[in-house]
Amino acid sequence: MDVLAFGVQADEKPLLERAFAGRHGLRCLDVFLTEDTAPLAAGHEAVSTSVNADLGAGVLRVLAAGGTRMIAQRSTGFNNIDLDVARGLGLTVARVSYYSPYSVAEFAWTLAMAVNRRVVRAAHRTRDFDFRLDGLLGRDMRGRTVGVLGTGKIGEAFTRIGHGFGMRLLGWDLVENPACRELGMAYVGKEELLAASDLVSLHVPLTPETRHLLDGDALASMKDDAILVNSSRGGLVDTEALVAQLRAGRFAGVGLDVYEAEAGLFHLDKSLVGVDDDTLARLMTFPNVLVTSHQAYYTAEAVGQIVEATLRNVTDYAEGRRSENVLVPAGRPA
């Protein structure tokens, strides 16, 4: 079966090509799937997409009209896909339901420690041979309180690291994780967690219910010197409200690997053209904010697992099987 993969990163391409060799025809594109690029998929029964692809109603209709029948998303999240429209068009949609939770959890801690210990500012100074310590004072994590919003696989991995630091553990989730309980985590309401935590890290999926989980009121309830980390989905945080809090001088540090309007920006080179997103531009002017380009998942282990799962999803579709990765089952036309 011929597969067209959109939004393929340079490091990812050889892994995909090796995995698909001899199994399915594969063409890799570095452009992301949008309404403008969707016609490129004409004649390909399956397409593979990245997390920032546009799989809204318009794009899905273009894909279906061009002969696409299967979409294999190379991510766990699928908030970018209109599943109802896909179902109505008879498209099969699959995702990657699991990859290394340690990749994201470890990177979340990387962001937390980088803003806590002012690593980026220090590195910029020393490149200019400025070796002063002024403004670089951080804090010990041991003995402080970490609040984990979402204690699934990634949240649990993040919690284990916090336990290793010797921190007090607070959790919030619809379903408690026994493994986190065993580590000493106390489950509390969101309001109590935000008010008590020195570090807050987000590990919940983006749904209509969790959109702007941290809105203006929630952000205002946090400690003035708290650290906030989001390595899950940008829409969990009301960015305009976050900017307002930062302008008021709040938060010791903010580490963001995701941004609610990242589609069309993240994973692309905008260095020569700039961006017209005033909110993002303002956010990145704050010295206590560190923004990275949705790279928390980007380890050899995690990407390898994503590639293998994507291959299995395509092969299952081609051979008429269904797995737990299938979000919309339609079946291959006879």
The total of other beta-carbon atoms located within 10 Å of residue 254's CB is: 23
Catalytic residue among 69, 118, 203, 294: 294
Among the listed residues 144, 124, 122, the one whose alpha carbon sits nearest the alpha carbon of residue 134: 122
Place of tokens 């090796």: 18
Handedness of CA 138, 164, 301, 177 (dihedral sign): negative
Strand 25-28 vs strand 2-5: parallel, antiparallel, or unpaired?
parallel
How far is 290 from 149, CA to CA, in rounded Å? 20
Catalytic residue among 74, 118, 233, 267: 233
CA 3 to chain centre: 24
Q: What is the DSSP letter of 59?
A: H
Exposed e or buried b per residue across 95-121, where buried means at least 16 C-beta atoms within 10 angstroms of its C-beta: bbeebbbbbbbbbbbbbbbbbbbbeeb
- CA distances (Å), origin 271, targets 258, 267, 281, 287, 294: 18, 12, 13, 20, 17
The C-alpha R_g of the chain, in whole angstroms, comes to: 21
Q: Is 294 a known active-site residue?
A: yes
Catalytic residue among 45, 95, 262, 267: 262
Q: Which residues are catalytic?
A: 233, 262, 294
